[in-house]
Amino acid sequence: MGRPRSRRRRYGTPGHRSHRGRPDPSHGLDPSAGRPPAVRGRALADGLVQLLFGPPAPLKRRNVALLLLCAALAALLCLAPSGPLSNEEERAWERVRAAQDHLASCRAARGMGPSAEDPFSTGLIGVEWSPLTTTLGSLPSKQASTNPVWAVLFLRWFDRLGLKSGDRVAFLSSASFPGLLLSGLAAAEERGLDVLLIASLGASTWGANEVSFPLPVILSELRLGGYLSTKAAFYSLGGDDERGGGFSDEGAAILKESAEAEGVPLVFGLGSVVEAKKEALRAFSPRLVVQIGGGRANLGDDEVVLSLPPGLLDASFADRGGNGLIASALQEGWPVLHLLNLAEVARREGIPFDGRPVRRGPAPFRRLRALAGGGLFLLLLVRYRRWELSD
């Protein structure tokens, strides 16, 4: 018999060509090839974590202590800028929030239900358009202006100027930001300041522009409820030329009627309003003038006033004050609290521009806090043992 012929073993399945001797095209050099994107993303994140903090291993006691210390210091850095509210600040915050609840109830009694534009039921957000509306306004700014933390900030502004009980503060306000006006008046009364209030009644969109709830009605309800005691010295209609220009005759009639019902006189015409305000300010001689909104008499018609930054201004800003009441006050040497560009003020002073009101102080950005945070991060990088070098 001859030797049986050996049978060659065939690999693979019938019809399948073998790739022995050359790379399998289904597997590249990248071990992550073929993995889903989510898996590759997790692998990348795990790699970065291990690079910074080392491979998974039980934390050493030294590192645990360092992490706890850094967490405690980070919490202090976050909380320290606002600080705890003083008793006076807490009272002002509560006063404003209670006043808002009262206004919401007053609106409901008039058949004005809650609106989506006033998510926290402050009673201080108007409508987009009405016969009382003078100009366009920002809804987010109006909503942010109702946060009671503004009352806390007003008290801290008063502190910066050293204002004490019995000192005089004048409020020159439009009806565009009734929330800011409420917070300012509540803070001033809580401090025991002597207050002069002069207001123009026209409002931009979402301000005090509801036909059945204009600014005189709001202020009357707040006094009747015991939340404020200040009554305006006089009103102007606002709008173009301080005669109600920009809104309808119907709107002007409504505002005249509401001022008359409150028993507050009206002054008409830009020239007359400017002179009446100047005379009232000279007689009152305030330690601070608070300017809220964009009333024509307050700002004037010189565009240079638009270069003024919002916030506390001293006499050094007089050359940029234009030709309105702001300029007159600065030239007299009275500090002016200019509240117009609310988004910028909120950002600078650390007031949240959205979100539910919380009983705490503003948390302004501070360069020292930023440097301290950077130093804390460097400390963690340097002192946290992530890897060891070996021979």
Residue 245 DSSP one-character state: B
**Is 335 part of any domain?**
yes
pLDDT, mean over the chain: 83
Q: Which two tokens stand for residue 101?
A: 């609840």
**Over 50: is that where the pLDDT of 372 sits?**
yes
Pair 133, 280 in one domain: yes
Mean pLDDT, residues 72-99 taken together: 80
**Is 19 part of any domain?**
no
Mean pLDDT, residues 327-331 taken together: 94
Region of poorest pLDDT, from 20-29, 141-150, 165-174, 354-363: 20-29
Pair 211, 306 in one domain: yes
Pair 309, 228 in one domain: yes
Pair 263, 183 in one domain: yes
Return the bridge partners of 235, or none: 199, 266
**Is 356 part of any domain?**
no
CA dist., res. 297 & res. 188, Å (int) = 23
Pair 76, 137 in one domain: no
**Over 60: is that where the pLDDT of 20 sits?**
no
Pair 150, 170 in one domain: yes
Pair 377, 279 in one domain: no
The reported pLDDT for the residue numbered 360 is 79
The reported pLDDT for the residue numbered 22 is 52
> Percentage of residues in the chain with pLDDT exceeding 70?
73
The reported pLDDT for the residue numbered 198 is 98
Pair 66, 189 in one domain: no
**Is 38 part of any domain?**
no
What SS3 state is found at 193? coil
Q: How many CA atoms lie within 13 A of 298 on its CB side?
A: 25
**Is 6 part of any domain?**
no
Range of the domain at 66: 61-81+366-385
Name the residue with higher pLDDT: 324 or 40: 324
**Is 18 part of any domain?**
no
Name the residue with higher pLDDT: 32 or 107: 107
Q: Which residues contact 233 (CB under 8 A, 6 or more apart)?
A: 196, 197, 198, 264, 280
Is residue 372 exposed (0-12), middle (13-18) or buried (19+ Cβ within 10 Å)? middle
pLDDT band of 11, cuts 50, 70, 90: very low
Query: What b-and-e string marks burial along 42-53, b requiring 16 or more CB atoms within 10 Å of the CB?
Result: eeeeeeeeeeee
Count of domains for the chain: 2
pLDDT digits (tens, 9 = 90+) for 270-285: 999 999 999 999 999 9
Pair 137, 172 in one domain: yes
Pair 250, 373 in one domain: no
Q: Which two tokens stand for residue 130?
A: 């009405």
**Is 375 part of any domain?**
yes
**Is 381 part of any domain?**
yes
pLDDT band of 57, cuts 50, 70, 90: low
Pair 77, 130 in one domain: no
Region of poorest pLDDT, from 45-49, 60-64, 197-201, 385-389: 385-389
Are the C-beta atoms of 185 and 197 separated by less than 8 Å? Answer: yes
Q: Which residues contact 196 (CB under 8 A, 6 or more apart)?
A: 168, 169, 170, 171, 233, 280, 281, 284, 286
CA dist., res. 177 & res. 109, Å (int) = 23
What SS3 state is found at 213? strand
**Over 50: is that where the pLDDT of 12 sits?**
no
Pair 67, 150 in one domain: no
